[in-house]
C-alpha cells in the first residue's frame, strides 16, 4: 500500500517539475537545470518578453529603491539561476551584481517585484544585500545586489579537497548561514531554497564570509493564511523536506531541513546523495527512499559526533522534531567556543615548551 502511494507521489513530483519547466507564466518559481542541482555557468537564451498590461502590476513601494539607470553599468556574465541571469556591474564606481529575468511576463515581473521588496526590507550581515533596482519599463526590471566575488559554496567544495578545510572554518560557515536563517525566520519569512549554490562567499579582511542569497522562492509566512504553512512546492529536490515532497502543509522548518543537508555538504564536499544518483532515473528512486526509507545524505567517517547529530536532527522526518534556528545557533556557538578554548590551550602548551 505504502509503496504504491510512494510511487504515485514520485510520479506527481516529476510531473510537477516537468510542468513547471514548460510553463512560463506560473506564479511559483520556474524550473531550470539548477533546480536539479546541475551546474549552469552558461547564459540562458536571450531574455524573452511577452506583452502584458503594466497596470496589472502592483509596484508597492519599489520606487523607494529605484536607481538611476545611467549610473549602473553592466559588465560580464557571472551565473545563471532558476529565474534569471546574474551579471557583474559597476554602480558609483563600486562592483555590484545585476540580476535580470529569463522571461518577462506579468506573473514573473510581479514575482520579481515581490522578491526585490522582500530583500530590500532585510538588513543582516549574513544575507546578500540589495542596493536597489533599475527599470525604464516592466520588461527591463533589474535587481542590483552587492557583489559576492567569492562564488558559491557548492563550487568551492567541488574544487577544494576536504582535508584543506578546517572544522573551525566549517563552524564559521555554518554559524553565518544559521545567523541569516535566524534573522529571516524572525522576520516571518521562509527562504524555501536553501542549498550550497545559494550560499555565496565575500572576502573581507582576508576572511571568507558566507551569506544567504537568491530569494526567488522566499515567502512571507503571513501570506500563507495566518497559520504559517503552505503546500506550494518550491526549491530543489535533494534539499526538499519530506512534507514538501508529499505536498503537505509546511512551515519554515523546511529551511532547517535544507540546512541539515548543507551541513552534510560542508562535511563531505559532495553533492547530497551523490553515491545514490550516478545514473539517469536515479532521482525518482532517491525521492522514494527519502520518503519511504528515510534516507539521508552521508557523512565522513571522521565527522565530529555532535556535528552529524545536529545535521540529522535538522533532517528529522517530522518537522516538529527539528530544532529551531535559535537552538541550532546555540549548539554552533557553544562548539565554536570549545574549539577556541582548545586552540588556546594548545597554543599555551606550545609556548611553555
Instruction: Provide the 3-class DSSP secondary structure of residue 202.
Output: strand
d(CA 181, CA 187): 10
d(CA 102, CA 85): 7
Q: Could you confirm whether 220 is annotated as catalytic?
A: no
Q: Which of 37, 85, 152, 193 is catalytic?
A: 193
Report which of 93, 208, 85 is spatially closest to residue 149, judged by C-alpha positions: 208
d(CA 337, CA 134): 44
Dig out the grid coordinates for 212 from the structure. Answer: 544567504
Beta strands in 172-245 (DSSP E): 189-190, 199-204, 207-212, 219-220
Burial (Cβ within 10 Å: 0-12, 13-18, ≥19) of residue 310: buried
d(CA 147, CA 71): 16
∠ at Cα 117 (115, 123), nearest 5°?
Answer: 100
Sign of CA dihedral 342, 265, 159, 162: positive
Active site residues: 193
Amino acid at each position: 500500500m505504502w509503496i504504491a502511494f510512494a510511487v504515485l507521489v514520485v510520479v506527481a513530483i516529476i510531473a510537477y517539475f516537468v510542468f513547471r519547466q514548460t510553463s512560463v507564466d506560473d506564479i511559483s518559481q520556474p524550473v531550470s537545470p539548477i533546480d536539479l542541482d546541475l551546474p549552469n555557468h552558461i547564459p540562458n537564451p536571450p531574455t524573452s518578453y511577452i506583452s502584458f498590461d503594466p497596470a496589472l502590476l502592483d509596484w508597492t513601494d519599489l520606487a523607494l529603491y529605484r536607481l538611476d539607470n545611467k549610473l549602473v553599468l553592466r559588465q560580464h556574465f557571472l551565473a545563471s539561476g532558476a529565474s534569471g541571469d546574474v551579471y557583474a556591474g559597476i554602480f558609483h564606481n563600486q562592483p555590484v551584481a545585476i540580476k535580470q529575468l529569463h522571461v518577462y511576463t506579468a506573473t514573473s515581473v510581479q514575482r520579481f517585484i515581490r522578491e526585490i521588496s522582500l530583500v530590500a526590507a532585510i538588513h543582516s550581515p549574513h544575507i546578500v544585500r540589495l542596493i536597489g533596482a533599475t527599470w525604464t519599463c516592466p520588461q527591463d526590471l533589474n535587481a542590483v545586489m552587492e557583489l559576492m566575488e567569492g562564488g558559491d559554496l557548492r563550487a568551492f567544495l567541488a574544487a577544494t579537497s576536504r582535508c584543506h578545510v578546517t572544522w573551525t572554518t566549517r563552524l564559521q560557515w555554518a554559524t553565518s548561514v544559521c545567523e541569516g536563517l535566524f534573522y529571516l525566520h524572525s522576520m516571518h519569512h521562509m527562504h524555501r531554497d536553501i542549498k550550497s549554490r545559494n550560499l555565496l562567499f565575500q572576502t573581507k579582511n582576508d576572511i571568507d564570509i558566507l551569506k544567504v542569497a537568491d530569494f526567488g522562492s522566499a515567502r512571507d509566512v503571513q501570506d500563507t493564511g495566518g497559520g504559517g504553512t503552505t503546500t506550494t512546492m518550491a526549491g530543489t529536490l535533494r534539499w526538499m523536506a519530506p512534507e514538501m515532497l508529499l505536498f503537505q502543509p509546511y512551515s519554515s522548518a523546511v529551511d532547517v531541513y535544507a540546512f541539515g543537508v548543507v551541513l552534510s555538504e560542508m562535511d563531505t564536499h559532495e553533492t547530497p546523495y551523490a553515491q545514490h544518483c550516478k545514473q539517469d532515473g536515479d532521482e525518482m528512486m532517491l525521492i522514494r527512499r527519502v520518503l519511504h526509507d528515510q534516507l539521508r545524505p552521508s557523512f565522513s567517517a571522521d565527522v565530529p559526533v555532535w556535528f552529524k547529530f545536529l545535521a540529522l536532527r535538522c533532517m528529522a522526518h517530522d518537522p516538529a522534531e527539528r530544532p529551531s534556528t535559535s537552538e541550532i545557533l546555540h549548539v554552533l556557538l557553544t562548539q565554536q567556543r570549545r574549539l577556541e578554548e582548545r586552540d588556546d590551550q594548545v597554543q599555551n602548551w606550545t609556548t611553555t615548551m
